[in-house]
Amino acid sequence: MATRPSAPAWLDVPVDANALAAGVWPDSAARDDDGRLVIAGVDAAELAARFGTPLYVTDEAQVRARAGRVLDAFGSAFAAVGASVAVYYAGKAFLSTEVARWVAEAGLNIDVCTGGELAVALAAGIDPARLGFHGNNKSIAEIERAVSVGVGTIVIDSRIEIDRVADAAARAGRVQAVRLRVNSGVHAHTHDFLATAHEDQKFGVPLDDAADLVATIRDRAELRFLGMHCHIGSQIFDAGGFAESASRLIAVHAELLTDGDVPELNLGGGFGIAYTAADEPTPIEQIAAGMAEAVGAACASHGIPVPRIAIEPGRYIVGPAGITLYEVGTVKPVEVDGGVRTYVSVDGGMSDNARPALYGADYTARIASRVTDAAPTLVRVAGKHCESGDIVVDADYLPGDVRPGDLLAVAATGAYCWSLASNYNHLGRPAVVAVRDGAARIIVRGETEADLLSRDAGIPLPTPAGTDALEGAR
């Protein structure tokens, strides 16, 4: 076995480098009799042969189940303190019309934050009343469209937006329900949270300004104030930050009640998932219970009823259900720190998963096309882009005989991979395939070379009408 040059402290040498860690891989992931990876009864090698690589694969039943699990977890936790819960799926994690329908059928609403996300949700046939519209810089056109199609709620993110939304509602002859995004001063990341008086960030308004802004909202007859909204971060592993934030919000919520209705409190998303076997997110039921307890206690201490609660998970719903399949192209031992690091290069990279480059995110890789007894060796899975930071998996152990032609699977790529995908180096963005009950179908087509060339204005469009049509198209 190779030595461990620069292996991170959290990464253990696995007993079996073919093993699929529970909680990291989709629940349905298994090896068949030939050692091939199977997801929801579908052979990964067959998927690669049929649809090509790189390929995003998502386990439909697991997305649906996770949506249902969040609804149940929060529904029962908050029922214990006398409140109901609305769950909004944060579409930024991964939105296509199919996914929008899956989560809606599971009883979730959907949060969108651009006109594009709104368009997908509408194209999916989601009742606009079940949509929440976010964003720190919605354009006037986006606001007008959201109001006119009857979006359920708009989250006001700045003083300027109060008039923008109210004016759009006035023009449309509607009363628009709104939330106000505030910063609770609590910022959480994975294991710990930081609590400050004011956050230095672009989203929302300081909690101290909420009373004044809510009074301004209430002065506009075209707006109906629902409550405050707060999102404290993403990939959070326990309830502590949410609980702290909720109790700060409830103190202000109680003040707001003295001047009118405040039926709701939106506590945002951010529930973490496992990307590697070292990640141990608290089960969602415990997080929900911790949040409900904090909200219940804060409301009791202010002598107010517990408002209806809304939450907005994204990653939690879709992240663990997704994997990405790649083909190994080259394997290259590189001497580092007196040892050897094996670079395994695949046919995708930072264009289909920007998270390692953007956030230093860790992932888990396994050979999908076979199992082998070869001793585990430390690898770095790299992409094919012209950039040294083009890393797919910074560190993991694979069987030492990993070789060109192997199919490689990377776990937990269901959230913020397709959403953040790019065409860097003119790679087409991969297709997304949904697997369920032994069957696979494309839910987002992959981009072809023709797609890549189609927007290049230097290439004449294939039209007999010639230049005039060309000009019109551009």
Q: Contact region for ligand LLP (CB under 6 A) — 18-26, 85-93, 300-308, 344-352?
A: 85-93
The backbone torsions φ and ψ at residue 471, rounded to the nearest 5 degrees and listed phi first, read -60, -45
Q: Contact region for ligand LLP (CB under 6 A) — 245-253, 254-262, 313-321, 367-375?
A: 313-321
Q: Contact region for ligand LLP (CB under 6 A) — 117-125, 245-253, 267-275, 381-389?
A: 267-275
Under the criterion CB under 6 A, does residue 137 sit at the interface with ligand LLP? no
Side-chain-side CA neighbours of residue 114 (13 Å): 7
Under the criterion CB under 6 A, does residue 271 sit at the interface with ligand LLP? yes
Instruction: Give the residue with the Cβ less far from ligand LLP, 90 or 309.
Output: 90
Shortest Cβ 42–ligand LLP spacing (Å): 26
Instruction: Give the residue with the Cβ less far from ligand LLP, 38 or 120.
Output: 120
* 242: CB partners within 8 A, 6+ apart: 188, 232, 236, 267, 270, 287, 290, 291, 294
Note whether 141 and 180 are within 8 A (CB): no
Q: How do beta strands 37-39 and 42-43 pair?
A: antiparallel
Distances (CA, A) of 463 to 209, 455, 467, 468, 469: 57, 15, 9, 10, 7
Under the criterion CB under 6 A, does residue 359 sit at the interface with ligand LLP? yes
Determine whether the annotation assigns residue 313 to a binding site.
Answer: yes
Q: So which residues are the catalytic ones? A: 386
Shortest Cβ 115–ligand LLP spacing (Å): 17
Under the criterion CB under 6 A, does residue 187 sit at the interface with ligand LLP? no
* 67: CB partners within 8 A, 6+ apart: 87, 89, 102, 103, 106, 107, 108, 317
User: Comparing C-alpha atoms, which of 414, 363, 339, 322 is closest to residue 10?
Assistant: 363
Determine whether the annotation assigns residue 370 to a binding site.
Answer: no
Q: Contact region for ligand LLP (CB under 6 A) — 160-168, 266-274, 291-299, 362-370?
A: 266-274
Determine whether the annotation assigns residue 359 to a binding site.
Answer: yes
Determine whether the annotation assigns residue 82 to a binding site.
Answer: no
Under the criterion CB under 6 A, does residue 56 sit at the interface with ligand LLP? no
Under the criterion CB under 6 A, does residue 270 sit at the interface with ligand LLP? yes
Under the criterion CB under 6 A, does residue 231 sit at the interface with ligand LLP? yes
Under the criterion CB under 6 A, does residue 227 sit at the interface with ligand LLP? no
Distances (CA, A) of 159 to 115, 164, 165: 21, 9, 11
Angle formed at CA 148 by CA 145 and CA 154, multiple of 5 degrees: 70
Note whether 48 and 327 are within 8 A (CB): yes
Under the criterion CB under 6 A, does residue 268 sit at the interface with ligand LLP? yes
State the number of binding residues for ligand LLP (CB under 6 A): 20
Cα separation, 365 vs 194, in Å, equals: 32
Q: What is the contact surface with ligand LLP in residues (CB under 6 A)?
A: 90, 92-93, 111, 134, 231, 234-235, 268-271, 312-316, 355, 359, 416
Cite the annotated binding site by residue number: 270, 312-315, 355, 359, 387, 416
